[in-house]
Amino acid sequence: MESRGCRGLLLLVLLLGCVRRGTGCGPETCPAAPEGFLNVHLIPHTHNDVGWLKTVDQYYYGGRNNIQHAGVQYILDSVVQQLLTDPRRRFIYVESAFFWRWWQMQKESVQRDVIQLIQEGRLEFINGGWSMNDEAATHYSPIIDQMTLGLQFLQSTFGECGRPRVAWHIDPFGHSREQALLFAQMGYDGFFFGRLDYQDKSNRMKTKQMEMIWRGSDDLAAPTADLFTGVLPNGYNPPDGFCWDQFCTDPPIMDDAQLEDNNVDYILQLFLKTVKIQASGYRSNHIAMTMGSDFQYENAIPWFKNMDKLIDLVNAQQINGSKVNVVYSTPSCYLTALNRANLSWPVKMDDFFPYADGAHMFWTGYFTSRAAFKRYERLSNNFLQVCNQLEALTGPAATHGPYGTSSSLTLRRAMGVAQHHDAVTGTAKQHVNDDYTLRLYKGWETCQVVISNALSSLTGTKESFTFCNLLNISVCPTTEAAKSFNVFVYNPLGRAVTWYIRLPVNGVAYTVRGPSGDAVTSEFTKDIRRDQGNAERELMFPAQVPPLGFSKFTVQKMATQERFFIRTKKRTSPTKMENKVRYNVIIAPSPDV
């Protein structure tokens, strides 16, 4: 079977010049990889889902361990302490949402130790987004936002040494060319992932195409759109027989010569056999082994203790002629070694979709699962863009105003979590999905304060603003009951739009006037839901809204007899009409971005 997008096309790539160096934390901190040896890069890591079987909070604190034993705070506590005991040891961490929370709770002495580990390259951030986002059900705008949120935290807290140089999507269920393009344009030097179609992987192992140059665009120049990409050999798990987490069942290295069940020879031979098989699918004399998995390293002692022994055991065989060298490493150190190898790589031109991990076992249901939450996530992204724009436009007036103190940060963090590959995909448990929804709802609440403050500053309006958040079920208590109200329609797009406003009402005749006071054509429909709210019909009218701006429409309910004389009735001046208005309704977001 010929792999799509490769077709024998080769590209000679020198990546060494792409690697950026931080002060004291660049390639110079990587372990030596001697020539003439097969160098095995052990990559200690943990994969921490930002919600899946448990909520984000439950995963962080270790709650509901009857569902899954996992506590992120203990993982980070344990790893930091074990790194400090031996300068050879290394570890990578990925999810900024968890690390940000842990960092806020640490004593100054622990923070100093962490900064030292980062500057020495022994604790390294990989990927660095707020979460590890999905690549199929997401939109590029919130992907960029959630990556920005995580990377800004790392950069502002740890400087250049905190800036990840390698993208790491080990668990999303298939991979898109557009995601690779985004990573390339964000300045990443390489990209590693774990899941691809089982037949594609089998073919790539046979033809040594597990590592490639992924060309993310047909339109952009090759260097801009190209990204070195590697497929990890075991998904993101350790090789069979070498899982030493406290919940694993693989035997530890029992190296006392007096033991009846001493297993040193067995471990050594199994490891060398594993290395040989893995190396057969890769082009260079370097291979990477992921040593960790979901929520592992809560007790980092058995992992590091056994990896220490493994490294010493295998490398000791070099005096007997062995050509295998094992080191603690990171994805960026592995990439640096590949840079120096000066090899040619196949080129990939298309997606890694759909993903199947066996015959008739396609992971495609999540493209449409939990459609209501997918819609809510999209609307939340629209609303966040409105919130961000008005916050930037009015500055402190938006965050500290007559309606309270707030910011867009709550919704930005909630949206960052919602991009996770078990969130927007709809693959989390029901109570976890409920938590995702609640986080977005709380974000909407805080942004409504920001928008109210901003519009108050821009318009001078001091009366209460109402957000019609339930228009999808034809419910808006203010428009259902009020005799007159203003409607503020905000457009976050960079172009003017005309949008048809639908407002639930109970009257039979209304006048609608636009920003200049001119009458706006309107009509009614009775095709609305009757099981929610009290509205008998909906008022509809077109709203023309300028780019990155808002338009105000004034709606006035007419008495029954007035509807028959509306054409001859003397026009009510906008000033007099507005004096009667007691309610201000905000329609945001506007059309989908």
Encoded amino acid at 54, one letter: K
Query: What pLDDT was estimated at residue 571?
Result: 43
Query: What pLDDT was estimated at residue 591?
Result: 52
Query: What pLDDT was estimated at residue 472?
Result: 87
Distance between CA atoms of 374 and 399, rounded to whole angstroms?
29
Query: What pLDDT was estimated at residue 581?
Result: 54
What number of other Cβ atoms are within 10 A of residue 8's Cβ? Answer: 10
Tell me how many degrees the CA angle 179-182-185 measures, rounded to the nearest 5: 150
Q: 49, 134, 171, 422: which is the annotated catalytic residue?
A: 171
Pairing of strands 286-291, 324-328: unpaired
The whole-number mean pLDDT for each consecutive block of 10 residues of the chain, a chain of 593 residues, reads 38 33 75 94 98 98 98 98 98 98 98 98 98 98 98 98 98 98 97 98 98 95 92 98 97 96 97 98 98 98 98 98 98 97 95 97 98 97 96 96 97 98 98 98 98 93 87 92 94 94 93 96 83 86 95 90 45 44 71 49
Distance between CA atoms of 201 and 389, rounded to whole angstroms?
44
Using H for helix, E for strand and C for coil, what is the string for 490-529? EECCCCCEEEEEEEEECCCCEEEECCCCCECCCEEECCCC
Tell me if 542 sits within 8 A of 522, measured CB to CB.
no
Distance between CA atoms of 459 and 49, rounded to whole angstroms?
44
Nearest to 336 by CA among 286, 292, 283, 289: 286
Query: Active-site residue 256, yes or no?
Result: no
Burial code (b: 16+ CB inside 10 Å, e: under 16) for 258-275 equals eeeeeeeeebbeebbebb
Distance between CA atoms of 121 and 300, rounded to whole angstroms?
18
Query: What pLDDT was estimated at residue 550?
Result: 92
Burial code (b: 16+ CB inside 10 Å, e: under 16) for 351-360 equals bbbebbeeee
Residue with tokens 């179609």: 197
For residue 330 the two structure tokens come to 């990171």
Which residues are bridge partners to 401 per DSSP? Answer: 404
Contacts of 75 (CB under 8 A, 6+ apart): 46, 48, 295, 296, 297, 298, 300
Tell me if 426 sits within 8 A of 52, measured CB to CB.
no
Distance between CA atoms of 19 and 29, rounded to whole angstroms?
13
> Distances in Å between the alpha carbon of 456 and those of 404, 405, 407, 583, 588?
12, 14, 15, 13, 15
For residue 487 the two structure tokens come to 């409607």
Cα-Cα-Cα-Cα dihedral sign, residues 127, 130, 133, 137: negative
Query: What pLDDT was estimated at residue 573?
Result: 46
Nearest to 199 by CA among 352, 75, 330: 352
pTM: 0.91
Distance between CA atoms of 368 and 240, rounded to whole angstroms?
34
Query: What pLDDT was estimated at residue 344?
Result: 95
Residue with tokens 């985004």: 182
Encoded amino acid at 236, one letter: Y
Distance between CA atoms of 301 and 79, rounded to whole angstroms?
8
